[in-house]
Structure 1
Amino acid sequence: MGIYQQLGLKQVINASGKMTALGASAVHPSIAKAMGEAAMDYVEISELMIVAGRHIAEATGAEDGCPTSGAAAGIAISVAAVIAGCHLSLIERLPFSEGMKNKIIIQKGHAVHFGASVQQMIALGGGKVVEVGHANHVEADHLREAIDDQTAALLYVKSHHAIQKGMQSLDTMIQLGREFGLPVIVDAAAEEDLRRYVAMGADLVIYSGGKAIGGPTSGFIAGRADLVAACRAQYKGVGRAMKVGKEAIAGLLAALGQYDPEKQNVTEQRRRVEWLAGELDRLPGVKARIAQDEAGREIYRVQVQLDKRVTGMTAHELTRQLEQGNPAIFTRNHYVNTGVIAFDPRPFHEGQEHIIAARMKELLQKQGEGE
């Protein structure tokens, strides 16, 4: 019996992805061991932060790094850093930034909700959000004309949540940043390539520790040494409310140390999705296909379209029944309103695709029999 079942909770099969709502990643035993050892000893946190920054820099190719409690905290801390720098009197004023250079420019299609809103994370860091362009169309002039003497930074969101068409590229944002002498912040929370955006010239890049790299709930910021120093300084201000513990830092560094984006076992993931797609496509009223991640990552999922006339239930009703079972099965349901759900193989434990196929067959058979 697992720890959560000992607490009286249902077993969860995560077919949604590395989602915060389901605990992000199930860490490797070596990462859990590092966290356990860290929990049983003491360390000077300020020194740990500096050393962690060196490890983050080595993993990302950045000048320095700063651990955070998560990617959302990374947004707030990065924004606070570009507004207040290392000036303690300003740090202690945030998030109240009246009279300070505090505007953060973001493309309208990047002003997304990921469980909370990007705009709120910016505001927590003292930023005044300036959304430019339209939800599906932004031109470089929209960005350029929004920049004024109160602009503190440009923020680019690289995410499957963001609109993927009609937005200006990160290259354009970086060029504008250089043109106007403004830092460019990249929210790359779930991205797998830890070096790409630093190499492109982004000034601060934010990652989740619990997503692609498979670490504990945590995050980190990589980038320019002066701005990263300002990020660390925010732990004397708004960062205090989102501080990261020694255990999470130890687990994060262990995950970074063994992370290799070239060894993410895509072959095994494809095997699982091909098998599951074949099983589900045989069910009446179900069309199953393999689909690549919306943001272009090397992630493949089973995408299922339901024909309500045959299945007798909507995709929303099906996901609800899957979640109410024991084990509870959570799907990736960003498009459930269109009748589409998806199954992400990355979080599966051994053989869980077979449980999913059997449960889907059971539910649709019951519905067909009028139960």
Structure 2
Amino acid sequence: MDVFTRLGLKQVINASGKMTVLGASAVSEEVAQTLKEASQNYVDIDEIMELTGTVIAEVTGAEDGCPTSGAAAGIAISVASVIAGTNLTHIERLPYSDGLKNQVIVQKGQQIHFGASIAQMISLGGGKVVEVGQANKVEAEHIEEAINEHTAALMYIKSHHAIQKGMQSIEKMIEIAKRYQIPFIMDAAAEEDFQKYIAMGADIVIYSGGKALEGPTSGFICGKKVLMEACRKQYKGIGRPMKIGKEGMAGLMVALKQYSHKDENIELQISRMKLLCEDLNGVPGLTCMIKQDEAGREIYRANIEVNSKEAGMDAAELLHALESGNPAIYLRHHYVNIGILSVDPRPLLKGQEETIAEKIRLILARGVR
């Protein structure tokens, strides 16, 4: 029996992905032990913060790094760093930034809601969002014409939630930022390559510590040393209510050091999803096939298309029945409105794909709504 069951909560099978709403990731034994030991000891917080920054830099290839409580906090802190720098008077003013360079340019198709609004995270850091272009089409001219004396940064949001077509590329935005000598901020919260965007020339890159990294609830920022110093300084201002504790920083460092040795075993994940699809393709009203992640990441999910007439219920009803059970089974449901549910193999424990298939067959056989 796991800790949450002992506390009186229902068991959860996470087939949705490394989602914040389900607790993101399950950490390794070494990270878990580190969290325990760190919670039972004391440390100079400024010292461990600087050490964590050094480890972040080593893993990402950046000049320096800054730990955060999560990627959303990383957005607010990064924006604050380009607006206030290390000026304590400015830091203590935020998020009120009138009179400072405070405009952050974002492509319209990337103004997303990830559980909260990207615009709100930028605003918490004192930024004034400047949307450019249209939801499905942004020209380089849109970006350049928005740049003025109040521009603090250009920001790119790499996310499956964002519009994938018609946007200007990361490379183009970096080129524009460098030409106009404006900081370029990259929100790469769920990305798996921690060196790619620094190598491309980004000034600031933000990651989640609890998603691809499979670390504790945390986040980290990497980039230019002067900007990382400014990021850490924001803990005297808007970063204070977003602070990460000693346990989070210790666990984050261990997870970062483990990352290069981690085996994602993509072939095994695909094999598990093939078996799931073979099982479900024999169920009336269901068609299952493997699809790669929309944002191009090395993630291969089982897409289950529900024909409501043949299955006896639609995808939303099936989803509700799965989530209402015990164990509660959470599938990825970004396309439930068009009858598609997905199974992400990464967070599944051994044999849980069999439980999912069995439960789906049982629900449809009973006609549970």
CA separation in 1, counterparts of 2:131 and 2:172?
A: 16
How many residue pairs were aligned?
369
2:14 matches 1:7:
no
Report the secondary structure of 1:289's partner residue: strand
4+ aligned runs moved over 3 Å, structure 1:
none
AA aligned opposite 1:21: V
**SS of 2:155's equivalent?**
strand
The Cα offsets for residues 49-97 of structure 1, whole Å up to 9 and x where unpaired, read as 1110110000000000000000000000000000000000000000000
2:293 pairs with 1:293: yes
- Equivalent in the alignment of 2:310: 310
Task: Report the alpha carbon displacement of residue 263 of structure 1 after superposing the two structures with TM.
Answer: 2.3
Aligned to 1:277: 277
Tell me the secondary structure at the aligned position of residue 334 of structure 1: coil
**The 10-residue stretch of structure 1 (312-321 or 254-263) with the greater mean CA deviation from structure 2:** 254-263
Matched, 1:349 2:334: no
- Which digits, 9 at most, give the CA deviation of each residue in 1:202-232, with x for residues without a partner? 0000000000011011000000000000000
Residue 18 of structure 1 corresponds to 18
State yes or no: 1:34 paired with 2:56: no
For the Cα contact (< 8 Å) 1:281–1:287, is it kept in 2? Answer: yes
Counterpart in 2 of 1:201? 201
* Alignment correspondent of 2:124: 124
Give the Cα separation in 2 of the matches to 1:188 and 1:39. 29
Q: Which amino acid aligns with 1:241?
A: P
The Cα RMSD (Å) is 1.0
Any idea what SS the aligned residue of 1:193 has? Answer: coil
**Which residue is equivalent to 2:105?**
105
Question: Percent identity between the aligned chains?
Answer: 59
- Residue by residue over 1:325-364, the C-alpha shift from the partner in whole angstroms, topping out at 9 and shown as x without a partner, is 0100000001111111100000001110110010000011
Give CA deviations for 1:160-210 in whole Å, capped at 9, x if unaligned: 111110000011110110111100000000000000000000000000000
SS of residue in 1 equivalent to 2:93: coil
Once residues 98 and 182 of structure 1 are traced to their aligned partners in structure 2, the CA distance between those partners, rounded to angstroms, is 19
CA contact (8 A) 1:185 1:202 kept: yes
Deviation at 1:301, TM superposition (A): 0.3
Residue 134 and residue 261 in structure 1: after superposition, are their counterparts in 2 closer, same or farther (change >3 A)? farther
2:231 equivalent in structure 1: 231
SS at match of 1:244: coil
- 2:213 aligns with 213
Aligned-pair distance for 1:260?
2.4
User: What CA deviation, in whole Å up to 9, does each residue of 1:136-162 have, x standing for no partner?
Assistant: 100000000000000000000111111
What SS does the aligned partner of 2:366 have? helix
Tell me the TM-score normalized by structure 1.
0.98
Match of 1:247 in 2: 247
What residue in structure 2 maps to residue 84 of structure 1? 84
Distance across 2 between alignment mates of 1:133 and 1:328: 41
Alignment of 1:326 onto 2:326: yes
Q: Which letter maps to 2:65?
A: G
**5+ residue gaps, structure 1:** none
Letter in 1 for 2:158: K
What is the letter of the counterpart of residue 349 of structure 2?
H
Verify the 8 A CA contact 1:192 1:261 in the aligned structure 2: no
TM-score (norm 2): 0.99
| Comparing 270-279 and 284-293, the one that deviates more | 270-279
Matches of 1:260 and 1:137, distance apart in 2 = 37
Counterpart of 1:51 in structure 2 is 51
**Following the alignment from structure 1 to structure 2, what is the Cα–Cα distance between the partners of residues 136 and 171?**
18
